[in-house]
Amino acid sequence: MRHLAGLIGAVAFAGTAIGIWGMPGATAAGRIQRRVAEVGRPNVVFILTDDVGYGDISANGATRVKTPNIDRIANEGIRFTNAYAPAATCTPSRYALMTGEYAFRKQGTGVLPGDAAMIIDPARLTLPRRFKDAGYTTGAIGKWHLGLGNATSPLDWNKHIAPGANALGFDETYLIPATVDRVPTVWVKNGDVVGHEPADPIQVDYKQRIGDWPTGRKNPELLKQKHSHGHDMTIVNGIGRIGWMTGGKKALWVDEDIADTIIRETTSFISNNKRKPFFLYVGTHDIHVPRVPHKRFVGKSGMGPRGDAILQLDAQVGAILKALDKNGLADNTIVVFTSDNGPVVDDGYQDQAVTLLGDHKPAGPLRGGKYSLFEGGTRVPFLVRWPAGQRHSTEDVRKAAPGRIANDIISLVDMLASFDQLLGGGQTGQVSQDGLDVSDAIRGLGPGKRNYSVEHAGRLALRWEKWKFIPAGKGQAYLPLTGTETGNLDADQLYDLDVDPHEDRNVASANPDVLVKMKGMLTQLRAGKQP
């Protein structure tokens, strides 16, 4: 009898628990829509930093450099320890974020030159398009690096440039076309070069020198920051770039002011749109090369320009958080802070990053960095704060406290599917879809649907549960110019990340069954199937 009573009690309890969630049931979609119905549609500020490593912020353990504003997002929200960028370089990572499709499925999605055509088809569903379709105002400010214009004619910087980010669903754009180390070194606002003068046309070439401006190769004495490798073409603002350009003198950005331009544009976007839901994508230049922070930050980290750029990045985040506070938007705005790929110390300029690094560990406890198949290549900071959505009522089955740490595996390729759920669901099935719905994890009600992640650095590796598999492959094991351990080896590698987060002890031969399973998963994934 006692057993039976206990059983009935358990059933009754389970019944209550289901009842709490009402008819959409305990699905992520049901829960998130209920929350949105309660608190109203949240704004989203998605801060995608450049080359910031897992260990580059104090929230993730950095001690030599302090990032109080970035850490505030973690302290008031959730800090993920197993979040992945979809690739170990910028363009493929951002492609996957915007489309929900891994870049390895599409040719031509490697790191792009500054005059490349846009690699995303305007006809497909994208992250900004999903928000725009839902009635949001959408903006993109900062680094783009997904190409501009179409492939049928060469990019003309002296005319209105289309299609560009605006054709993918962004209402307002204010962009660094590619990277700051690539020409042209100008801002593009809604498809037009800011400060362009018809009398001084801009010409850009990535194959041969164009115009008569000095180059880093011929006139190194003109450089204020010398290159260590590459970056020896046209000199702009005392810095050698990738590619050649001439013209547009009034339009050229001043590297030292880029962070302040991002602050100006983001804070005015936020205050202009405070009365309607918005999605704002912020691509910081920091902490990519060239690292030339404003003089307010020079010398402040004791780690040279790379550390100073981290402080400048923290100030940009601080300004964004302050703008949300000031406009009364903090409670129902989802703020994400993450990075497009892992860290690199020397990425082509002599900026003292190597000599002043000391005991700072850009990738934290992880091995490798940008360009690498090891965890440091793609495991990135991911902090998310949504006070109204992460504050759970007492009925919630799993409660999240502010400052919570989440170990759930998530990927930036999941953002389209996850925000789709937030907006009511149902649209992401339209496209080839690698993303999974991790909205529960983002709300602190995890786990999300993901227990694996593809790691893409030229070729593919796989994280699954606690395991990391890097298939045997040729290629350099070490890139001497950047000091990167690539993860390439002539034999299969398997690591148990629970006990060996730094991927030092290859346990492939002791775990043949795990290897077979993970090879099978990769085969499925390559074929476009969920494993």
Q: How many residues does the chain have?
A: 531
Residue 56 as a binder of Ca ion (CB under 5 A): the answer is no
Q: Which residues pair with 496 in a beta bridge?
A: 467
Nearest CA among 350, 426, 419, 353 for reference residue 384: 419
Using CB atoms within 10 Å of the CB of residue 377, give its burial: 0 to 12 exposed, 13 to 18 middle, 19+ buried. buried
Name the DSSP letter for residue 455: E
Residue 507, contacted partner among Ca ion, ligand NG6, none, CB below 5-8 A by kind: none
Question: Should residue 286 be labelled a site residue for ligand NG6 when binding is judged by CB under 6 A?
Answer: no
Regarding 255 and contact with ligand NG6 (CB under 6 A), the answer is no
Judged by CB under 6 A, the residue of 56, 115, 171, 181 near ligand NG6 is 181
- The span from the CA of 15 to the CA of 22, in Å, is 11
Min dist CB 286 to Ca ion, Å, is 11
Contact 287, 316 (CB under 8 A): no
Per rule CB under 5 A, is residue 51 in the interface with Ca ion? Answer: yes
What is d(CA 507, CA 498) in angstroms, rounded to the nearest whole number? 13
Closer to ligand NG6 by Cβ: residue 191 or 348: 348
Residue 241 contact among ligand NG6, Ca ion, none, beta carbon within 5 to 8 Å by kind: none
| Tokens read off for 429 | 């099935």
Q: Can you tell me which of 160, 229, 276, 398 binds ligand NG6, judged by CB under 6 A?
A: 229
As separate numbers, helices (DSSP H) first and strands (DSSP E) second, the chain gives 12, 20
Among Ca ion, ligand NG6, none, the one that 181 touches (CB under a kind-dependent 5 to 8 A) is ligand NG6
Question: Using the rule CB under 6 A, which residue among 49, 51, 236, 484 binds ligand NG6?
Answer: 51
d(CA 98, CA 307): 29
> Binders of Ca ion among 316-355, rule CB under 5 A?
340-341
**Nearer residue to ligand NG6 within complex by CB, 51 or 408:** 51
Count residues near ligand NG6 (CB under 6 A).
Answer: 17
The correct pick among 28, 32, 78, 90 for binding Ca ion (CB under 5 A) is 90
For helices 2-21 and 28-39, give the axis angle rounded to 10 degrees: 50
457 is an interface residue for Ca ion by CB under 5 A: no
Exactly one of 89, 390, 411, 433 binds ligand NG6 (CB under 6 A); that residue is: 89
User: 478 by DSSP, 3-state: which?
Assistant: strand
**What does the alpha-carbon distance between residue 259 and residue 266 come to, in Å, rounded to a whole number?**
11
- According to CB under 5 A, which one of 48, 50, 55, 444 is a site residue for Ca ion? 50
What b/e sequence results for 488-525 when a residue is b if at least 16 CB atoms lie within 10 Å of its CB, and e otherwise? bbeebbbbbbeeebbbeeeebeeeeebbeebeebbeeb
Name which position in 72, 79, 288, 361 contacts ligand NG6 (CB under 6 A).
Answer: 288
Pull the structure tokens for residue 153.
Answer: 């004619």
Closer of 51 and 414 to Ca ion (Cβ) = 51
Least Cβ distance, residue 90 to ligand NG6 (angstroms): 3
Structure tokens at 428: 């992401």
Residue from 230, 387, 475, 531 binding ligand NG6 (CB under 6 A): 230
Among 348, 376, 458, 501, binds ligand NG6 (CB under 6 A): 348
Question: Would you tell me which residues interact with Ca ion (CB under 5 A)?
Answer: 50-51, 90, 340-341
